[in-house]
Structure 1
Amino acid sequence: MIAVVIPAHNEVRRLGRCLSSVTEAARQAMQSGHQVEILVVLDRCTDGSGAVARRHGVHTLEVQAGNVGEARRAGAAWGIERGASWLACTDADSQVPPHWLVSQLACGTDVVCGTVHVQRWQPWHTAALRQLYLSRYQAREGHRHIHGANLGVSAQAYQRIGGFRPLAAHEDVQLVRDLEALGVPISWTARHSVATSSRRDSRAREGFGDYLAGLEAIL
């Protein structure tokens, strides 16, 4: 069984598009014989994110962590308790391609680190910023980027290293580093890139939004 874990903090505007894409990816995986469960971890949500998730017919788990590492950890624990052998992670402001889950499993490794791409640049993002971003991003096989928006890991390997650490930022990077330290095989692939938001009001500090802001600052 595949468990898809999506942390969300007040994502009512973007969560629906995310879940539509994940539902399609789940449909393709189920056509290939896999069972898929989708979970939205509602972390201190005070908006209509829960209602959006329920309209899409997915599972929800409410937590009061205010911490993306704890939210992902809670979601992974939920999936493993339900018998998941594979954990797939994305973010509430992202949209996965239809072959996302099938492609992760086809890699044949215990960990799959995928790439992301900006779905739509905002008017305030200059051509210089876009050029700088693209010059620093390796959208190819063998890249070394780590994104919680496009990450897959076997439940067995995940449990070996104790799972996500309860970090407010870079919990995805730490997870992969812990797995690397154990010598767990990792696929670094660009075959199922995930579209992500280029918004400024990012929910996770030191995440993708802050990375873009940092690039703006050096121009």
Structure 2
Amino acid sequence: MIGVVIPAHNEQDNLERCLRSVLQAAEHPILGGEPVRIVVVLDSCDDGTQLIAERYLTQVLVVTARNVGVARATGASYLIEEGARWIACTDADSEVSSNWLANQLAYGADAVCGVVEVDDWSLHSADVRSRYEAAYFDQENHQHIHGANLGIASHAYLLAGGFPALTCHEDVHLVRRLEAVGARIAWSCSVRVRTSARLDCRAREGFGDYLRGLGTLAS
């Protein structure tokens, strides 16, 4: 079984698009009908996020940590206990490509770090977009790490100690631990996710704050 973990804090405006894209990826013929279980980890939600998750018949877990590392770890642990051999991670404000899961597994690696595309630049200046694209390497062996586009074999995840309980950069810490234990990591540009460039970002020091920082430089 393949598991998908989606942490969410008040994502009623975005989660449906995310779930639709993951469900489409779960139907890819290369997966050969292998079951895909989706877990949405609600972290301190007080909007309609849970109703949307339940409408799509996904597994819902609830934490009150306001901590994305805790949320991802909770979902991953649950799926591994349920028998998942592979854990794929994305974010509730992101949409995965239709071959997202198929391409992760095709590498035969212990972990796959994919790339992200910004879905809408309209909230940012042309200078921000230019600075971002100049610094981003959308190619194989890119070395970018995104919690919105990360896949890990369950055995490697456990060997590396899982996601740490950090409010940001939990993805980076896990990948560095994977490197330390000798995991085979694929740095893929064929594993793709479209993600939000919104200004009301959920995780401090995350992707949204990175874009804000580029705006400061541009000004």
TM-score range, shorter chain: over 0.9
Separation (CA, whole Å) in 2 of partners of 1:113 and 1:127:
27
Q: Match for residue 55 of structure 1? A: 55
Query: What letter corresponds to residue 132 of structure 1 in structure 2?
Result: R
Separation (CA, whole Å) in 1 of partners of 2:33 and 2:16:
26
CA deviations over 1:143-190 (Å, ceiling 9, x no partner): 000000000000000001110000010000000000001111000001
- Over the aligned positions, Cα root-mean-square deviation in angstroms equals 1.0
Structure 2 residue 81 is the aligned partner of structure 1 residue 81: yes
Separation (CA, whole Å) in 2 of partners of 1:199 and 1:30:
33
Count of aligned pairs: 218
Are 1:4 and 1:88, in contact at CA under 8 Å, matched by a contact in 2? yes
Q: Match for residue 109 of structure 1? A: 109
**Normalised by the size of structure 2, how large is the TM-score?**
0.97
Q: Match for residue 145 of structure 2? A: 146
Are 1:7 and 1:92, in contact at CA under 8 Å, matched by a contact in 2? yes
Are 2:9 and 2:44, in contact at CA under 8 Å, matched by a contact in 1? yes
Displaced runs of 4 or more, over 3 A: none
**Normalised by the size of structure 1, how large is the TM-score?**
0.97
Helix, strand or coil at the partner of 1:206: coil
Shift of residue 89 of structure 1? 0.1
Listed as ranges, the gaps of 5+ residues in structure 1 are none
Shift of residue 193 of structure 1? 1.4
Shift of residue 106 of structure 1? 0.2
Are 2:27 and 2:33, in contact at CA under 8 Å, matched by a contact in 1? no
Structure 2 residue 27 is the aligned partner of structure 1 residue 27: yes
Q: Match for residue 202 of structure 2? A: 203
Shift of residue 116 of structure 1? 0.2
Separation (CA, whole Å) in 2 of partners of 1:185 and 1:108:
9
Separation (CA, whole Å) in 2 of partners of 1:206 and 1:143:
21
Are 1:100 and 1:192, in contact at CA under 8 Å, matched by a contact in 2? yes
Listed as ranges, the gaps of 5+ residues in structure 2 are none
Structure 2 residue 86 is the aligned partner of structure 1 residue 72: no
Q: Match for residue 173 of structure 2? A: 174
Separation (CA, whole Å) in 1 of partners of 2:56 and 2:168:
28
Percent of residue pairs bearing the same amino acid type: 54
